[in-house]
Amino acid sequence: MSAPRRFSLAGKLALALALWSAAWMLLAGWLGQRFAEHGSLLALVLAAALIVATLAFSRRLLRPVLSLFRALSGTVSSYRDNDFSFGIVWRGNDELGDLVAAHNALGAALREQRLGLVQRELLLDTMVQNTPVAMLLVAPGGAIVFANLGARRLLNDGRKLEGHALANVLQSAPEALAEAVARPGDGLFAIRNESGDDADSDDVYHLARKRFSLNGRSHELLLLRQLTSELRRQEVQTWKKVIRVISHELNNSLAPIASLAHSGAELIRREQYQRIEAIFATIEERARHLEGFINGYARFAKLPTPRLELLAWPQFVERLHLHAQFSLEGELPLTPLRADAAQLEQALLNLIKNAHESGSDPSLVQLRVREAPRGFRIEVLDRGHGMSETVLANALVPFYSTKRSGTGLGLALAREIAEAHGGSISLSNRPDGGLSVALTLPW
């Protein structure tokens, strides 16, 4: 089927004006011949009639175009109000038809985008409303402007919170929750579960907050996530690992002790006393190893709060030299350190012991102390075998060890001590071989 014939808008107007002019010229010629004696009056009458007729003809000719412009103006107003349901019909195959087609195509595109946006908004709202994380959006004045279903259930028995003041809502909330919201920053808190009386019935939550600008005003987003089930799963896994490690260590010590005791009894029965002393020495060694293993667990589980005091670096490092072999790299800082001497000494002795067990030459085990921007950086360096990426990722986890006789508590205890002082610990392989363990402690 052939395409409809196209007429340009300029061609239509030119044709209409030409026909109109020709018609008036013919009419003027005919009237001039008919009424020649009234030439002047006839010219005036024709001029007036021409003006009136031309205005009427122009209005009739432009009426569809003006209607089209009004329709375009109306649809643009509808688009501005997010209503894209209107379309325009123009039967002419000209430039105005192209304009209408482009306009309708724009409306269709906006309609599709609007539909997609609405669907995404519905999906996002469904996800936000049904997420297990309680979400609150608070305006600058403290008014709640948004709360999902989790927040409503946690704070208002499932009823709406929008429009309420956060301070008023927290008055009826659990005390631990109100205190966590009042404190700056993120944090953990526990709410007593009314279904139980012991500590295991507490529900643990994590509070995260984020400030951002919305419509030129600062808002705060509060996220409350329940961690009870995750923590309990981790607790069970940790206890299983503890039991496996303790069982392994107990078997490694008690099995040889039982075997040696049986051998000693047999030697006594046969009155062969020359090997009894060696058997008792081995039993003592295994018993002391077991005692050290149990004491290590006890120290890790019962780490007391640090008793901070000012420590002069020369005297502190001199005491370390009495218990471990290492060399000092660089000068010691003049600024004293505020720390618990016994705990910090224990942490560094564990790190130095690990350095000696890494396969490093004992003379290459070094201690380096430097002043950092907000405290001190204490490094224990060795030239041993270093650690693989997997070991580096798990080395600070309690009970993780790659040694046959290791408890997995040395680095974990050092981390606990560092964090109890407000610091941190990090491990990294050295470029030329070996390991660097760094304690960062505040002033």
59-105: per-residue pLDDT in tens? 676 777 778 888 888 888 888 887 878 788 877 777 777 888 888 88
- Does any domain span residue 13? yes
∠309-313-318 over CA atoms, to 5°?
110
- Does any domain span residue 120? no
Among residues 226, 252, 275, which one ends one of the domains?
Answer: 226
pLDDT confidence of residue 410: 76
Instruction: Write the CATH number for 288.
Output: 1.10.287
Structural domains of the chain, count: 4
Mean pLDDT of the chain: 81
Segments forming the whole domain that contains residue 51:
9-115
418-432: per-residue pLDDT in tens? 888 888 988 999 888
- Average pLDDT of 44-60? 66
- Average pLDDT of 291-306? 71
Name the least confident of 46-55, 56-65, 168-177, 277-286.
Answer: 46-55
pLDDT confidence of residue 43: 64
- Are residues 326 and 238 located together in one domain of the fold? no
Amino acid residing at 181: V
379/42: higher pLDDT: 379
- Are residues 170 and 288 located together in one domain of the fold? no
Residue 119 CB coordination number (10 Å): 10
Q: Is the predicted pLDDT of residue 37 greater than 70, yes or no?
A: no
- Of 146, 147, 193, 143, nearest in space to 167 by CA: 143
- Are residues 214 and 251 located together in one domain of the fold? no
299-339: per-residue pLDDT in tens? 666 677 888 899 999 999 998 888 889 999 999 999 999 99
- Does any domain span residue 44? yes
Residue 327 CB coordination number (10 Å): 13
- Average pLDDT of 246-256? 73
pLDDT confidence of residue 139: 93
- Does any domain span residue 35? yes
- Are residues 269 and 386 located together in one domain of the fold? no
Name the least confident of 71-85, 126-140, 164-178, 205-219.
Answer: 71-85
Only one residue has tokens 């130095």, namely 352
- 18 backbone φψ class: left, alpha, beta (φ>0; ψ -120 to 50): alpha
Q: Which two tokens stand for residue 197?
A: 């009386």
As a whole number of angstroms, the distance between CA 169 and CA 136 comes to: 12
pLDDT confidence of residue 31: 60
pLDDT confidence of residue 313: 93
- Does any domain span residue 3? no
- Are residues 313 and 409 located together in one domain of the fold? yes
155/292: higher pLDDT: 155
Beta-carbon-side half-sphere exposure of residue 60 (alpha carbons within 13 Å): 9
174 close to 190: Cβ distance less than 8 angstroms = no
Amino acid residing at 155: L
Residues ≥6 apart with Cβ < 8 Å to 150:
131, 132, 133, 134, 135, 224
338/241: higher pLDDT: 338
Q: Name the DSSP class of 358.
A: T
Instruction: Write the CATH number for 385.
Output: 3.30.565.10
- Are residues 316 and 430 located together in one domain of the fold? yes
pLDDT confidence of residue 147: 93
- Does any domain span residue 335? yes
Q: Is the predicted pLDDT of residue 262 greater than 80, yes or no?
A: yes
Among residues 276, 301, 326, which one ends one of the domains?
Answer: 301
- 438 backbone φψ class: left, alpha, beta (φ>0; ψ -120 to 50): beta
As a whole number of angstroms, the distance between CA 30 and CA 21 comes to: 14
pLDDT confidence of residue 135: 93
Amino acid residing at 435: L
- Are residues 213 and 239 located together in one domain of the fold? no
- Does any domain span residue 367? yes
- Are residues 358 and 430 located together in one domain of the fold? yes
399/273: higher pLDDT: 273
Q: Is the predicted pLDDT of residue 1 greater than 50, yes or no?
A: no
DSSP 151-205: HHHHHHTT---TTSBHHHHHHTS-HHHHHHHHSSS-EEEEEE-TT-SSGGGEEEE
- Are residues 279 and 255 located together in one domain of the fold? yes
353-398: per-residue pLDDT in tens? 889 988 889 999 999 999 988 889 999 999 998 888 877 777 776 6
The pTM for the full model equals 0.44
pLDDT confidence of residue 195: 58
Name the least confident of 34-43, 121-130, 150-159, 242-251.
Answer: 34-43
- Are residues 323 and 395 located together in one domain of the fold? yes
Among residues 281, 301, 321, which one ends one of the domains?
Answer: 301
Q: Is the predicted pLDDT of residue 228 greater than 50, yes or no?
A: yes
- Are residues 324 and 433 located together in one domain of the fold? yes
- Are residues 320 and 430 located together in one domain of the fold? yes
